[in-house]
Chain A
Amino acid sequence: MNTEDHPLPDVGAPFVRGLREGRLMLQFDRASGRAQFYPRPQSLYGEAGVEWREASGRGTIFALTLSRVGPPQLAGAVPYPMALVQLAEGPRMLARVNAPYEQLAAGQAVEVDWNHPDSRRAFPVFRPAA
């Protein structure tokens, strides 16, 4: 899905706007500071509400697969490594990792690859951390 072809999501609008600017925006609990993803209308951690802040864009690979199948817009990109990235701020994010699968492993440090066109257009693509 190309976000340029779709209206901004409602609750997640700051996240999508952030991608276009090369910034990873997350929701944080106003009281405890715990981060959550995906964006929700309330905090998962209390009733103090959420605020949006820029996140580091860094994390580690929590789970990893080489997907030999993909959604229609990525049919030409298979196979591609896909991971649950444990963000430095806490929550997990499902994302592709732009690197040879053989060079990736659980626990490895990754960061958002803002040079990848899909990161700004559709969804963050990660790469091994520099």
Chain B
Amino acid sequence: MKTLADRSIAIVGYAETKLVRRSGRTALSLAGEAVDRLLAQTGIERSRIDGFATTLAMSEGGNPFYSNLLAEGLGLSVTWCQATEIGGASSGGNIARAAAAIQSGLCDIVLCLASDAVSTVDRSVQSGHRTEYCDPAGYAGPLSAFALLSNVYDQRHGLPHDALARLAVAQREGALLNDNACEVLRRPLTEREYLDSKIVSDPLRLLDCVMRCDGASAVLVMSTRRAREMGFQKLVHPVAYAERINFDPPEACGDMLRTGFTDVAPRAFGAVGWKPADVKMLHWYDDFLIALILQLEQTGFCGPGEGGAFVMAHDMTWHGDLPLNTGGGQISAGQPGLAGGGVNLVECLRQMFGEAGARQVRDAGNAMLSGIGVIQYARTWGTSTVMLLERSR
């Protein structure tokens, strides 16, 4: 996006519910709780919100009127409304879409929502290649794709088991300090426990994978000018954003380890003249731990096959030199279905607002957020996104 680098867009507040396994609630109920908290935190009146972007919810299945009905359920009357369905990348994607809508005059103050009760009920149906060619072949969901991807990595570079264990433990350390993480995940983890965890699909371990849960997050976006007028003191600016859907489509027989991140990272960094070494902390989409290794290698932090060595050479805990997913990430806090990207986004904002309490990163002046969405046929993920954010000076 061309129009973010001038810091003309501001995030003024965020909120989330606790992540809960099988809450028995609905996406609307969880959304209402998150929005109530956001309104209380920002002091903004609900009637001032005139833009609304939401992720979809697996718990709401194929409701063709989802965003519209959610707006109605939340008592919002808006001039711009949309549901974004680029999978786990939708939460970050909605910030960029809100920015575009504000800058084009469609609306003034946007609520970006993510809510899903997928562990209570999953009504999602994926038509297309998933049902026609994957399920009959024995596909067991995203973990099958990530198991095969891990096998390709293992063939080429050797899987960095020690680094994966290090990441699992580092993120768990954050979850222990995160009251909103799933309670079942809030117990200490050792590298040995990670390494000994059950294999679900070779070489993928149970603790390589996210656990589904229910939860919601909400973020308020407006122009920096409006934010100043309204007296907001703490602002976070999204300064760069790049998105790639269906990277390199003819390469169904190409390099599986090369994903859309090789495209979006240079575009995002180039928009603001940053390089990886300028980034203070990482809030990266983590549905599987191997995805973090691949992101390190594909966004310029290290070269192909060097992700494991990079992890071992850095302290990526909340108090380390390159903090990563400081609230536990989705791996150790839980993945609330299609609202999962909100877990990374809200922790990113909480750190940048300086409100992360016992796990506050010392220098949280900027951050890199990433998103991953959708599984391609016999490849990797369909959507790769990078957002760079900076605290207002």
Contacts and interface: CB of A to CB of B under 8 A. Distances in A.
For chain A, give the interface size range.
Answer: 35 or more
A123 B151 contact: no
A86 B252 CA distance: 10
Nearest to A34: B250
A63 B151 contact: yes
Given A12-B132, A82-B138, 9 more contacts: A66-B201, A69-B141, A82-B139, A82-B201, A86-B253, A90-B253, A91-B378, A94-B138, A106-B151
B312 interface: no
B144 A45 contact: no
Interface in B339-360: none
B132 A9 contact: yes
B252 to A, nearest CB: 5
A70 B143 CA distance: 10
Contacts of B148: 63-65, 82-84, 94
Interface in B129-162: 129, 131-141, 143-144, 147-149, 151-152, 155
9 contacts: A38-B129, A62-B152, A66-B201, A67-B140, A68-B198, A68-B199, A92-B253, A93-B378, A94-B148
A67 B131 contact: no
Nearest to B251: A44
Nearest to A118: B136
A37 B138 CA distance: 17
B252 A44 contact: yes
A95 interface: yes
B240 interface: no
A74 interface: yes
List the 5 closest pairs (A to B, CB-CB), nearest first. Answer: A123-B136, A65-B147, A63-B148, A122-B136, A92-B378
* Most interface-central of A63, A73, A106, A124 (chain B CB within 10 A): A63
Given A62-B152, A65-B151, A68-B200, A92 B252 contact: yes
B151 A64 contact: yes
A24 to B, nearest CB: 13
Contacts of A3: 136
Interface string A88-127: 0011111110000100001000000000001000111000
Nearest to A93: B378
A28 interface: no
A48 interface: no
A69 B198 CA distance: 12
Nearest to B199: A68
B202 interface: yes
A123 to B, nearest CB: 4
Contact of B135 (A38, A64, A71, A84): A71
B382 to A, nearest CB: 14
Given A64-B151, A94-B377, A106-B151, A69 B140 contact: yes
Interface in A23-80: 36-38, 44-45, 62-71, 73-74, 77, 80
Interface in B107-149: 129, 131-141, 143-144, 147-149
B349 to A, nearest CB: 35
A4 to B, nearest CB: 11
A129 interface: no
B249 interface: yes
Contacts of B203: 65
A68 B202 CA distance: 8
Nearest to A3: B136
B61 to A, nearest CB: 18
B378 A71 contact: no
